[in-house]
Each structure stands twice: as C-alpha cells, then as structure tokens.
Amino acid sequence: MMDHTENTLRAAQKALTDVVGPSLDPQDPLAAEQLRLVVEYLDFVRTRLDDINDRVRADLLQAITIGRRCHGKLVDAELTRGLGDALEEGEAVVSQIAAHPQSMKEAALAIHEALTALIRSLGTADPERSREVQRIIVIGYKPMLDFERAWFLPFGFDPEPANALTTGEALAGLVREYESERGESIAS
Amino acid sequence: MTGTDEMTQAPEVNRDAPSEAFIQSLRDQYPVEDEIDKILTRKMRRRSGPAYQRIGEDELVAALDGLLKANIQGEFTVSDTGWFTGGVSKIQLGFTLEWTDPETGPRKERLVVRMEPSESSNTTSRAREAELINLVEGDLPVPHVYWMDPEGTWFPEPAIIYGYVPGVTKPTQSTTGRISGLGTNFGPEVRERLGDQFMRHLATIHTYPIPDDALPSFNWPRVGTTDSATWLVNYVRRVWDEDRGHANPLMEAAAQWLVDNVPTLDHASVLHGDYRSGNFLYDETTTEITGWLDWERGHIGDRHRDLAWTTQTAFGHYSEDGQEYYVCGLVPLSRFYDQYQELTGLTIDQERLDYYRVLNCFQIIVSIQATSYRVARLGKSHQDIMLTRVEGMAPVMAEQMRTILEGKI
C-alpha cells in the first residue's frame, strides 16, 4: 500500500488555513502567529518527507568518516578504545540495506559521544594531539553542514541560497567522503 | 580545564530533570558571573517543573495590579491592554497606566510588561537589563524602567515594567531596489541618516564611564587578564552542557579552540550584547532613533565581542549594485571599522575580532540548537514552535564558525 502521508499533511494545512484560521479571535494576534508557524512547518515537513531517512543516513556516514580519521591519526588503543567500538557498530549498521533509522541514529550518536569524550580527555593536557583532532573534525564537518544547509533552505535563513547544494548533491558528497575513507563501495 | 572530563564518564545525565549533582558539577566546571550563575541554576532547578501554560491577559493584568499596588501610593487605572507579537524569548503586554507620581503629579502613559516564559531561548537577568538601561539613560535613547519583579514575586516569572517607546524597527513601506542578504533594507536615504546615529550610539556605549556602584549585578573583568572571555566561554559551554539534545563533535572542537585561545582584555567596555538593526526603534518622520531595546545580553567586557556580533552577515546586506556590504543594513563595511575607531579612540584587533566571531557563532548555535530544542521539548515557552523553526539557522552559523576555525587550527 502506497504511503499517503504527504497527502494528509496537505489536507491538514488546508483545514488549518481554511477552517481554523478564520475562526480565530482577531484580538488574539499570538494565536494567528502560532497558526501561521504551524502551517509553514507542515509545508516544510511535506517537502522533506521522502528525505528523512537520507538525513539520518548522512549523519551516520559523516560520523563514521570523521571517527575513522581521528582513530587512524591517534593510534593510541587506550585513548581511542571507546571510539573504535562505536565505529565498529556504526559500520555494521550502515552496511545493512534495511537499517532502521533509529539504529542509525543511535550508532551516529555513539560515535559523536565517543569523539566528544576524546576531545575532552585530550583537553589542554595534550595540545598537539588535541589540535590534530580539532582539525580533522573542523575540516570533516563541511559535507554534513552542506547537507543541513540544503535541508533547512526553505526557512530563508541562508544568506547565500544560490550557493547551497541540494540534499541529493550533499548526500552524494558525504558518500564520496565515506567511500574515500573506506576505500570501498557501500550498498546504497 | 582538566585533562579528564568527569561529565562524559558520569552516569547517564537526565537533562529533562537534572539532578542537583549534575547542576552543581556544571557550576563547578564552568565558573561564570555571580548573577549569571544564579539565573542558570534557577533555570535548571525548575526544569523538571510543569510545562508553560499560556497566561491569559486577565491573569497577567492581575499580577500587574499586585505589583502596582506594592509600588504606587494612591489610586491608579490600567486600561487598553494588548499583547505584543514577534518576540521569541519574552512575553510582552502593553497597557496604559493612569497614576499620580509623587514627584511629577498625575500621569497617563503607555507602558510594557516584559516577562520570561518558564524557560526561554536565552535565560537572562531582568536586574542586569534594568541596571544597564538605567546607566545609559539620558545619554542614549532607551525605554525608562519603572519597576521590576526580578524574583517573580507578583508575576509568574521575573518581569520588568518599562515605558513604551514609539517607533518602528523597519520601514513600514517597502523600499525600492533589490538587495541580496538577510538584513533590513532601509533604503539609501534612511540608511545614511540612521547609520550615523547607529555608529555614534555604539561608540557611546563602548566608551561609557561606569561608576563603581552602578552595576551591582555585574562582575568586573580585570583588564590585562582573560576574565572577560573566560566567563563568556564558560557561560556558553555551561548552557551547551545544560541544554543540548545530542553530542556534537564540531561544537566540542570549537569549544576547545575557544579555551586554548582565550584573549586578554585591554579595555573594559559596557557592551549591549545584541547591537543590531531590529533592536532599535526609530521615528519614520524624523528618522531619529527613539529607543534601544533588548539589553539582556549586555555585560562588561571586550568591545570586539559586540563588533563581531554587529557585523554578522545575518544582520546585513549588499547594496543595490552588489558592490558594498552594509553592516546591519546601515553602515558600509568599508567605513565601519575606521569610523568606529575615530569615534571611540579604541583600536580594533583582527585576531580578537575573529575569536569573538567564533564565540558568537558558538553562542548562537547553543541558543538555537540546544536551548531551543530543550525548551520546546519540555513545552516551556509561549513560542515553542518558533524556537524549533530557528534551528534552521544552525548550519549557516556552524559553517561560518567552521570556516574561521579552518583557517586558525
């Protein structure tokens, strides 16, 4: 049975705009403002519905790519044990064709938390390795930020929207980075 | 900062209902100004409380009545009440007050109640806000502060009563000419007249003399030390750890860079904290600025923090011919820094400007990705849906921060 969520969201917008809106108290501008924001957000979700899984996957690909680079650079088993474990789990999840979004989110989160712990443990006590990790992360985050910029573009916050990639283009960039780091292809 | 962070090894932290141990650990790890510590601690201790319930106008007026009875001797009348819209972090109600001032006699004036929701996108102090406004009143156009309820004695949350300032934040008629950018397009003629005031007022703030007893809710950073930047970095890191939904390695990397590169203060200035178009009102007939608003982020510190904030690309735009960038849609960037130095006699250091650009981006991301997430998740404000919407700014700010850091690390 085909998914009709997009159709239902459109109907919900119409109900709010055509029925609820005109019935609001004109002396209550806050209510009108809230209704407008709700309708706008439903419209945004409608345009992003088919890409939600891609977004979750993009985050995991990014996490694995950056995590691998940090892990490979530091070569300190004690320091990177938590990160190594999280990366192993992440790789197992991302290679599953039917990976559930929740599994992908949890795997990405585990890598993010391991990287957080790594940065904090290096702290100011090991400035050289701390800077190496900072640099890997700062440089490595661009593809994911490209994706997020594309994701939120309809909100109008981007000062250079003409320069933004599409979510498809940004995801392709993340896949390239991942494959380059891994040196092999993944199942799409 | 120690080499080992206890937080990441602690048992799972519940940010929705923080324990006293978690709260105290953040207080210990991130020393901030005393008043800031007080309001953040209050926020965290109340976090597990109920969601925000919309306050009806009658309820707010009843609270107002209580405050006025405690502060006004004699009869008074409150009338013509009405909500303000457009604010994200504060609830505001306008009203007309007829009363008898013991010094000036019978008065009738338009006032505004400004109150926090249960939690907002930016936890701030009404006391600090009032002290700053009182400090500069008379030398800058600002709303007059009448009364305060800093502890929420009469109102459900801390509140401030100030005078209504007439004016607009942007032209009521659309301006001709296409521009690129996010800032308000005032049009060439208005831009020129407002821009001059904009610069003079900024210079006044940053060079304002501060009497020793004028700002009791503020800690004074010592010149020649890293106090100012350290308190700010601690503040943003603390709020990040208090509010965030998920770990974010880019924010961690940025935080460590901020700690490693904290600059020394050369001159302690009064800072507005959110100096930009959108936070002043002006008279469209005379093009005079009638009032500077939103002093809640104000503090004593490094002018570069304000300069980096004001010159953010989110607040400005390019000229109609695309050749010139206008800071806040008002002052050509090519003139901005020279004019500032001429007016203030203070120098501008590019490294410190870049530092505070990173810090400002970090702070904004904390507000829109951590605090807004947490507040909306717990239903703590009157604008939860607006707060979730502003998350769309996060990748833009993060990319700006990342780009600067890439050239620094």
Between residues B89 and A106, the one the model is more confident about: A106
Strand-pairing partners, residue B83, are: B93
Residues 210-269 of B with CB under 8 A from A: 246-250, 252-254, 256-257, 259-260
Q: Report the sign of the C-alpha dihedral through residues B308, B88, B128, B139, in that order.
A: positive
| CA A188/CA A172 separation, integer angstroms | 11
CB atoms inside a 10 Å sphere around CB B145: 20
Per the structure block, which two tokens stand in for A37? 């924001």
**pLDDT of residue B6 exceeding 90:** no
E strand segments, B276-348: 280-282, 289-292, 299-301, 317-318, 325-327, 331-332
Share of chain B above pLDDT 90, in %: 80
ipTM over 0.90: yes
CB of B317 within 8 A of CB of B185? yes
DSSP B211-238: -TTS-TTSPPPPTTSSHHHHHHHHHHHH
CA dist A81 → A72, A132, B7 (Å): 12, 18, 18
Beta bridge pairs of residue B168: B282
* CB of B81 closer than 8 Å to CB of B93: yes
- Residue with the two structure tokens 């610069």: B199
Contact by Cβ (8 Å): A130, B258:
no
Calpha distance A74→A129 (Å, rounded): 7
**DSSP state letter for B368:** I
Q: Do A34 and B385 touch (CB under 8 A)?
A: yes
CB B279 within 8 A of CB B295: no
Q: Using 50, 70 and 90 to split pLDDT, how confident is the model at B136?
A: very high
**Residues B371, B121: contact at Cβ < 8 Å?**
yes
Q: Which of A115, A148, A149 sits opposite B252 (nearest CB)?
A: A115
CB < 8 Å to B390, chain A:
157
- Closest-CA residue of B relative to A59 is B248
Q: Is A149 on the interface with B (CB under 8 A)?
A: yes
Q: Do B1 and A138 touch (CB under 8 A)?
A: no
Mean pLDDT of B297-304: 98
Nearest to A120 among B5, B246, B405 (CB): B5
> Which of B248, B249, B229, B217 lies closest to B36, judged by CA?
B217
pLDDT winner (highest mean) among B119-133, B160-174, B262-276, B309-323: B262-276
CA distance B77 to B153: 21
CB contact at 8 A, A86 and B249: no
Bridge partners (DSSP) listed for residue B149? B159
Judge: B406–A138 Cβ closer than 8 Å, yes or no. yes
**Residue type for position B375:** V
Q: How do the residues of chain B divide into helix, strand and coil, expressed in percent and rounded to 5?
A: 45, 15, 40
* pTM (2 d.p.): 0.93
Token pair of B58 as six digits: 């009658």
The interface residues of chain B toward chain A in range 280-319, judged by CB-CB distance below 8 A, are 313-314
Q: What is the pLDDT of residues B201-236, one digit of tens each?
A: 999 999 999 998 899 999 999 999 999 999 999 999
Q: What is the CA radius of gyration of chain B?
A: 21
Q: Could you tell me what percentage of chain A is helix, strand and coil, using 3-state DSSP and rounding each to the nearest 5?
A: 80, 0, 20
Report whether A16 contacts A24 (CB < 8 A).
Answer: no
Is the Cβ pair B253, A148 closer than 8 Å? no
So what's the pLDDT on residue B86?
65
User: Distance between CA B348 and CA B303 in Å, rounded?
Assistant: 9
Residue in B83, B181, B252 closest to A120 by CB? B252
The beta-carbon neighbor of A145 closest among B7, B82, B402 is B402
Of B311, B283, B317, whose CA–CA distance to B194 is shortest? B283
Tell me B204's DSSP state: H
B224, B264 Cβ separation under 8 angstroms: yes
Closest to B100 in 3D by CA, of B132, B125, B127, B71:
B71
pLDDT < 50 positions in chain A: 184-188
| Pair B300, B269: CB distance under 8 Å | yes
Q: Which two structure tokens, joined as six digits, stand for A168? A: 């498809």
Q: Residue B159, SS3?
A: strand
Tokens of B238: 């603390």
Work out the pLDDT band at B175, boundaries 50, 70, 90.
Answer: low
- B200 touching chain A per CB within 8 A: no
Please, which pLDDT band fits residue B109 given cuts at 50, 70 and 90? Answer: very high
Question: Are B9 and A115 within 8 A, CB to CB?
Answer: no
Query: Percent of chain A scored above 70 by pLDDT?
Result: 97
Chain B partners of A148 at a C-beta cutoff of 8 Å? 394-395, 398
Residue contact A121–B5, C-beta within 8 A = yes
Any idea what the Cα angle at residue B119 is, between residues B117 and B121, rounded to 5°? 105
Quick one: residue A76, left, alpha or beta (phi over 0 = left, psi -120 to 50 = alpha)? beta
Separation CA B183–CA B200 (nearest Å): 20
Structure tokens at B283: 């008279």
Binding-face residues of A in 83-102 toward B, CB within 8 A = none
- What DSSP line would sit under B125-147, residue for residue? -HHHHHHHHHHHBTTB--PPEEE
Residue by residue, what is the 3-state secondary structure of A82-93? HHHHHHHHHHHH
Residues in chain B with CB shorter than 8 Å from the CB of A127 are: 260
Residue A143 pLDDT: 96
Tokens of A181: 């780091």
Tokens coding B4: 């080992």
Report pLDDT for B297: 95
For the stretch A131-176, pLDDT in tens is 999 999 999 999 999 999 999 999 988 888 999 999 999 999 999 9
Place of tokens 């239902």: A8
Residues of B in contact with A65 (CB under 8 A): none
What number is the average pLDDT over the span B238-247? 96
* Neighbouring residues of B196: CB distance < 8 A, sequence distance ≥ 6: none
pLDDT confidence of residue A188: 38
